[in-house]
């Protein structure tokens, strides 16, 4: 039972990345102001981020996963709230660190009491995606393309899309220029060599060919919000997902690194067995 709860929680973490996959496949060659805003934002340093993923399956009530924290170039320090999904797995909030070690993406998770169910007294779980089999290799590509780190998603705004300005929207009292468009997800994934069959449920997943996007650019020329919604069918069940990422305080320089080694338990093999096997 404890092992099952652990795998469910890991699947939730994967779902954040998979949703991010469709949130960051790219929007740039399109309207110059959008591409310029993405470039200017990414080059300005780190930022605060608030991310929300809402998923409703076959008309059921939506499950909401949220994340807040700080992001930098290739790194992130996030606190995830899995909501009802976390409750069913025996997990409340999760601390997540995304770092690169020897150029490889590594995730550290502080999952509270659930960590102790693995028979360790360590505070942090370490997941080296480069060593997690087929699932890890695929997930590594997603991270390299910016789908797990909201900050890096800005660099992915250079893919297959078509956008136009539609007006102005006020977000938290700040007037932004609102762009709408679609992204050719299938081509973006193919260009990255991503193997969807390696992801949980991937062999039975039907990813939409194109996905609608909303991009909001602030008066300072930087991205304020990215949002999208899409339907995905996995094993005959259709789920509707909505993803929103808000960025504020561009230009901060967050110092993000791994936790102390004596507080870490390497769970890479569990990730490979629990998720890589579908």
Residue 70, pLDDT score: 92
Q: Residue 264: what pLDDT? A: 94
Tokens representing residue 27 in the block: 């929007």
> What pLDDT sits at residue 47?
92
- Mean pLDDT computed over 179-183: 82
Q: At what angle do helices 2-23 and 133-144 cross, to 10 degrees?
A: 30
- More reliable by pLDDT, 133 or 85: 85
Q: Note the pLDDT of residue 192.
A: 61
- The three-state DSSP-derived secondary structure of the chain is CHHHHHHHHHHHHHHHHHHHHHHCCCCCCCCHHHHHHHHHHHHCCEEEEEEEEEEEECCCCCEEEEEEEEEECCEEEEEEECHHHHHHCCCCEEEEEEEEECCEEEEEEECCHHHHCCCCCCCEEEEEHHHCHHHHHHHHHHHHCCCCCCCHHHHHCCCCEEEEEEEEEEECCEEEEEEEEEEEHHHHHHHHCCCHHHCCCHHHEECCCEEEEEEEEECCCCEEEEEEEEEEEECCEEEEEEEEEEEEEEEECCCCCCCCHHHEEECHHHHHHHCCCC
Within 10 angstroms of residue 211's Cβ, the number of other Cβ atoms is 24
Per-residue pLDDT, 278: 41
CA–CA distance, 63 with 54 (Å, rounded to integer): 6
pLDDT digits (tens, 9 = 90+) for 148-168: 445 444 544 545 557 789 999
Q: What is the CATH number of the domain that holds 260?
A: 2.50.20.20
pLDDT score recorded for residue 108: 93
pLDDT at 21 over 90: no
- pLDDT tens readout for residues 53-97: 888 887 778 888 899 999 887 788 999 888 766 555 556 788 999
**Which is higher by pLDDT, 242 or 149?**
242
Say whether pLDDT at 207 is over 90.
no
Write down the pLDDT at residue 248: 95
203 pLDDT more than 50 = no
Span 29-54, average pLDDT: 79
229 alpha-carbon distance from chain centroid = 14
Per-range mean pLDDT, top range of 128-132, 135-139, 160-164, 218-222: 218-222
Is 219's pLDDT higher than 90? yes
Which residue do the tokens 């976390």 mark?
86
Q: How confident is the model at residue 217 (pLDDT cuts 50, 70, 90)?
A: very high
What is the domain range of residue 264? 2-274
The yes-or-no verdict on residue 45 having pLDDT over 70 is yes
| pLDDT average, residue stretch 102-107 | 83
pTM: 0.76
Paired tokens of 54 = 């809402």
* Number of domains forming the structure of the chain: 1
> Residue 177 pLDDT more than 80?
yes
What integer pLDDT is reported at residue 29 of this predicted model?
A: 44
Q: Give the C-alpha separation, 151 to 251, whole Å.
A: 12
User: Mean pLDDT throughout 204-217?
Assistant: 75
């Amino acid at each position: 039972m404890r092992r099952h709860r652990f795998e469910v929680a890991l699947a939730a973490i994967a779902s954040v990345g998979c949703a991010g996959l469709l949130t960051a496949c790219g929007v740039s060659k399109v309207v110059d102001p959008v591409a310029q805003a993405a470039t200017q934002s990414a080059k300005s340093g780190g930022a605060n981020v608030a991310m929300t993923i809402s998923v409703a399956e076959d008309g059921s009530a939506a499950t909401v996963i949220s994340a807040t924290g700080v992001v930098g170039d290739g790194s992130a320090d996030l606190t995830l709230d899995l909501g009802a999904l976390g409750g069913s797995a025996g997990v409340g909030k999760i601390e997540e660190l995304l770092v690169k070690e020897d150029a490889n993406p590594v995730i550290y998770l502080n999952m509270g009491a659930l960590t102790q169910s693995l028979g360790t007294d360590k505070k942090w779980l370490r997941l080296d995606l480069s060593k997690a089999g087929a699932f890890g290799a695929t997930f590594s590509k997603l991270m390299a393309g910016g789908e797990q780190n909201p900050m890096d998603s800005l660099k992915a705004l250079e893919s297959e899309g078509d956008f136009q300005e539609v007006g102005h929207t006020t977000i938290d009292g700040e007037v932004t220029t609102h762009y709408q468009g679609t992204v050719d997800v299938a081509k973006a994934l193919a260009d990255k060599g991503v193997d969807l069959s390696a992801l949980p449920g991937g062999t039975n997943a039907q990813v939409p060919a194109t996905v609608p996007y909303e991009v909001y650019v602030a008066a300072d020329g930087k991205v304020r919000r990215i949002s999208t919604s899409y339907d995905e069918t996995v094993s005959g069940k259709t789920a509707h997902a909505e993803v929103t990422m808000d960025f504020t305080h561009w230009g901060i320089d967050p110092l993000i690194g791994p936790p102390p080694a004596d507080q870490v338990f390497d769970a890479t093999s569990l990730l490979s067995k629990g998720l890589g096997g579908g």
